[in-house]
Amino acid sequence: MSQVLPKRPYLLRAMHEWITDCGNTPHVIVDAGREGAEVPRAYVKDGKIVLNLSEGATQRLRLGTDLIEFDARFAGVVHHVRFPVGAVLGIYARETGEGMVFSEQDLGPQPPSSPPIPEEGGPRRPQLKVVK
């Protein structure tokens, strides 16, 4: 059986390349609360941070399979930024807004969960309500 790899790192690299090739500026939205996320906390809002991943804004950018890391200036101070690929919520072009939002499925297969135990009386039919 072949190994199933997560899609997110490949999609992220492809979108980064496409946005850059179009002459736009790639930005990522990162879950700053994710374990392993090392980002400048002063720029985190609502648990998220938007980071510019353009060549001009970063140094030593590495878009790895498990980790993204680079050096960047924030208010003139150089910070080493690193976070797991799983912390990336989306990538988009600043100029056009075009991009991609990632789902948990892009991280790879989840271990199988046990099927829900049916309630007594068999399965229930869905109920719809009219909302006016």
Domain residue limits, the chain: 8-107
Q: Give CA–CA dist 85/37, Å, rounded.
A: 10
* pLDDT score for 109: 52
- Listed residue (7, 10, 6, 12) closest to 29, CA to CA: 12
- Mean pLDDT of the region 16-39: 97
Could you give the strand order of the β-sheet that contains 88-93, starting from the edge strand earlier in sequence?
48-52, 26-31, 88-93, 99-101
Task: Report the CATH superfamily, name and number, of domain 8-107.
Answer: SspB-like (2.30.30.220)
Q: What is the residue-averaged pLDDT of the chain?
A: 87
* pLDDT score for 123: 56
Whether the pLDDT of residue 22 is over 60: the answer is yes
* Measured CA angle at 19 (ends 17, 22), to 5 deg: 105
Q: Give CA–CA dist 90/12, Å, rounded.
A: 8
Residue 56: pLDDT band (50, 70, 90) is: very high
Question: Higher-confidence residue: 23 or 104?
Answer: 23
